[in-house]
Amino acid sequence: MHTILGAGGPTANALTRELIKTNETTRLVSRKPISTDQPNLSWVKADLLNEAELFAAAEGSKVIYLCAGLVYDAQIWQQQWPIIIQNVINLTKRTGARLIFFDNVYMYGLVNGPMTEDTPYQPCSLKGKVRAKVAQQLMDESKAGHINVTIARAADFYGTDSMNSFLDMMVLDKFAKKDKAQWIGDANTLHSFTYIEDAGKALFLLGQTPDSGNQVWHLPTAAPITGKAFIEMAAKVYATKPQYLTINKLMLRLVGLFKKVVAGTVEMYYQYDHDYHFDSTKFEKAFNFKPTTYYDGILNLSKTLYKKQN
């Protein structure tokens, strides 16, 4: 039994597709209903903040994937992540299942050079401090022999089915409509982006590989690219002009006065005006996995959009 906690989000959906392909018995756990019209696929309602509901929903699990995404607000993260993580730790101890936690890179803070699995935690944001504490708590439990946990980290992702990515929303969707794109920060700096389908495949592989436990993995991600180069590449695929507007920190602050989600991006602005180099060499070598190129990723998305429109 493979159980996905926080099902319904972009990463969880990509993972679900991989599990369906191999007919793995999969249980989706979320607060909102999810269609389960595939064999060996079921949905159970549960709130990850409620330990009793969580225990009931994940009974019989062999591999548990925590792919939950919370409202993009530092205060909510400070309040809810500690509860969720403790509940999931208790669940893992109760079931004896392997835990795979889908994580981000906020705990690293501003890094001068490539981010690797050995990069120290030096968060420079409130959300980063929350993620650092969560990751440390999980690995402490692992080192003590209490649980078997894998932390799987990805860079900013693209290719979602919910516009839950600034690349999808502000660049690719804009170009698909022949509109002018938008870019946060300095378009001349380097930035890494994880193709969501690669993330799903990688999580699946980790779930199938018991020896991958009790360590951190960076999920397969193509080499960093400048924002300008990505925009030009995307414009070529969508057959439009590579025009874009740059959104600076002040603009984010102003928009954030009216949109709380945007306000939550302000403290993360350092990721957009400095080089952001995510290194996934460890995973690529261990699993002989070649990340999808940005061009191929964009091309795949354009073809998917064409099919939907026709």
| CATH (domain of 272) | 3.90.25
Q: Which residues of 165-186 are buried (b: 16+ CB within 10 A; e: fewer)?
A: bbbbebbbbbbbeeeebbbbbb
Please choose, from the candidates 194, 165, 162, 159, the residue with its C-alpha nearest in 3D space to the C-alpha of residue 301. Answer: 159
Residue 26's DSSP bridge partners are 2, 41
Q: Which residues contact 5 (CB under 8 A, 6 or more apart)?
A: 29, 48, 54, 58, 64, 65, 66, 67, 68, 88
Is 174 found in the same domain as 122? Answer: no
Sign of the C-alpha dihedral, residues 29, 66, 14, 76?
positive
Q: The domain containing residue 198 runs over which residues?
A: 2-156+193-218
d(CA 249, CA 254) in angstroms, rounded, equals: 9
Number of domains in the chain: 2
Please choose, from the candidates 247, 234, 255, 246, the residue with its C-alpha nearest in 3D space to the C-alpha of residue 299. Answer: 234
Is 65 found in the same domain as 203? Answer: yes
Is 27 found in the same domain as 55? Answer: yes
Residue 162 has what pLDDT? 65
Is 213 found in the same domain as 170? Answer: no
d(CA 260, CA 251) in angstroms, rounded, equals: 14
- pTM reported for the whole predicted model: 0.94
Is 26 in contact with 20 (CB distance < 8 Å)?
yes
For Cα atoms 107, 113, 118, give the angle at the middle one, nearest 5 degrees.
Answer: 50
Helices (H) and strands (E) in the chain, counts: 12, 15
The answer as to whether 95 is a domain residue is yes
Please choose, from the candidates 233, 266, 225, the residue with its C-alpha nearest in 3D space to the C-alpha of residue 247. Answer: 266
pLDDT < 70 positions in the chain: 161-164, 305-310
Domain end point (choices 203, 218, 233): 218
Is 213 found in the same domain as 68? Answer: yes
Residue 163 has what pLDDT? 63
Q: Which residues of 224-254 are buried (b: 16+ CB within 10 A; e: fewer)?
A: bbebebbbebbbebbebebebeebebeebee
Is 204 in contact with 175 (CB distance < 8 Å)?
no
- DSSP code of 170? I
d(CA 43, CA 30) in angstroms, rounded, equals: 8
The answer as to whether 55 is a domain residue is yes
For Cα atoms 247, 250, 252, give the angle at the middle one, nearest 5 degrees.
Answer: 55
Is 230 found in the same domain as 197? Answer: no
The answer as to whether 93 is a domain residue is yes
